[in-house]
Amino acid sequence: MDWKKNKKLQDKAIKVLKKITDAGFSAYIVGGFVRDTKLKRIATDIDITTNAKPKDIREIFKNNYCTTGEYGSITVEVQGVYFEITTFRKEISYEDNRKPVEFIYIDTLEEDLKRRDFKINTLCMDKSGKIIDYLNAQQDLEDKIIHTVGEAKQKLREDSLRILRAIRFATVLDFKLSEEVKVAILENRYLLKSLSYERKKEELEKIFTSKNVENGIRLLLELGLDEYLELPKLKELSYVKDLCGIWALLNPEKYPFSKNEKELMKKIKAAYQEANLQDSLTLYQYDLYTIMVASDMKSYNKKEMIKKYNRLPIHKRSDLAIKGEEIIALLSIEKGPIINEILTDLETQVLRKSIKNKNLDLKKYIVKHYKKC
């Protein structure tokens, strides 16, 4: 998908803006979508800012699917796209250096832009497609730099998530942080300790999945955030592309992971710790994905590892050219743990290439080693 697809989204968003302005309100696309379009980057979601109150929005979009978010913004579904519509507001107070617990609705766009985090996130577009840039955000986009809207120290103190957002935008967009932002991060980085692990993980994952991940990690380390994020292994992180691989290496204790993620990380860690991952019997224990990630972590030649894996004579027990029932019949024995033992032995012999994975060869081996006279 290329960024020109943004135009399709934009056309839909403009229809939404028109619906709101036809009802007598003002409305603009704001933030990430306009920023990313200007930078010729793919945008996925669209935020709209308006002087219409949530109840007005519900009325205007009464025939659409709407949900109300945590801070009174309304998400409206229009032709399969979700638009987050937020009323112009001024934030009054914050709780735990994060949530704005108190805000008031205001009348002007300019005033609303002042509550936002970074200048690059204040660009707007009106219903005619015209860019509105009250805070000179376009200059920052040109200079590839991140400034806060207003005083950096206060902005980051109000909401510590902004520390990680700053680093995320610098990484993903390949921008610099202004000196003022860097100083404010150093002064407020201790606040990261009380930010929820869910939010930390969310932002970190956007950094770790960026093609500029190395710059992101360098920035996190330069600002000493590894300590406050409780990620002591961040320093040792060699360049690993896979997200689960990165988490497996970081081994974070308090961050939340799904059961599936935990299982993947466990497997990757086990494969990474294998003394001889290239050995056939060891390779056989893992799937190709795990081998690829662990190879990356060990700086092995991935192509060679894929070849080695693909050349294994079998990849799973059911690939053996004999079934348990055949062994039972061949040895005239009862079902029992011995069958598993024999199958394990066969897997080893076949992987070591001591015998071929052919039904007759396997049978001969079984008769020779397991048939009681």
Interface residue list for ligand ATP (CB under 6 A): 31-32, 45, 47, 116-117, 121, 159, 161-162
The option from Mg ion, ligand ATP, none interacting with 54 (CB < 5 to 8 A, set by class) reads none
The option from ligand ATP, Mg ion, none interacting with 116 (CB < 5 to 8 A, set by class) reads ligand ATP
Of 143, 136, 83, 141, nearest in space to 113 by CA: 136
Closer to ligand ATP by CB, 45 or 326: give it.
Answer: 45
The option from Mg ion, ligand ATP, none interacting with 121 (CB < 5 to 8 A, set by class) reads ligand ATP
Three-state SS letters, 98-163:
CEEEEEEECCCHHHHHCCCCEHHHCCEECCCCCEECCCCHHHHHHHCEECECCCHHHHHHHCCHHH
45 binds Mg ion (CB under 5 A): yes
Residue nearest to ligand ATP (CB): 32
Closer to ligand ATP by CB, 157 or 241: give it.
Answer: 157
Please state, in angstroms and rounded to a whole number, the distance separating the CA atoms of residues 170 and 190.
20
The option from ligand ATP, Mg ion, none interacting with 117 (CB < 5 to 8 A, set by class) reads ligand ATP
Q: How far is the CB of 80 from ligand ATP (least distance, A)?
A: 18
Please state, in angstroms and rounded to a whole number, the distance separating the CA atoms of residues 41 and 4.
9
From 25-33, 135-143, 211-219, 260-268, give the range in contact with Mg ion by CB under 5 A: 25-33
Closer to ligand ATP by CB, 84 or 226: give it.
Answer: 84
Q: Would strands 145-146 and 176-177 be described as parallel, antiparallel, or unpaired? A: parallel
Total of residues contacting Mg ion (CB under 5 A):
2
Q: How far is the CB of 217 from Mg ion (least distance, A)?
A: 24
Q: How far is the CB of 77 from Mg ion (least distance, A)?
A: 16
Q: How far is the CB of 8 from Mg ion (least distance, A)?
A: 17
32 binds Mg ion (CB under 5 A): yes
Stated as kind and residue range, the H or E segment containing 291 is helix 288-297
Of 99, 118, 96, nearest in space to 193 by CA: 96
Please state, in angstroms and rounded to a whole number, the distance separating the CA atoms of residues 255 and 257.
7
Q: How far is CA 225 from CA 167, 230, 232, in A?
A: 10, 8, 10
The option from ligand ATP, Mg ion, none interacting with 159 (CB < 5 to 8 A, set by class) reads ligand ATP
Q: How far is the CB of 199 from ligand ATP (least distance, A)?
A: 10
> How many other C-beta atoms are found inside a 10 Å radius of the C-beta of residue 167?
26
Q: How far is the CB of 107 from ligand ATP (least distance, A)?
A: 18
Q: How far is the CB of 162 from ligand ATP (least distance, A)?
A: 5
Assign residue 251 a region: left if phi > 0, alpha if psi is -120 to 50, beta otherwise? left
> How many other C-beta atoms are found inside a 10 Å radius of the C-beta of residue 355?
15
On whether the CB atoms of residues 126 and 17 are closer than 8 A, the answer is yes
Closer to Mg ion by CB, 12 or 363: give it.
Answer: 12
Residues engaged in binding Mg ion (CB under 5 A): 32, 45
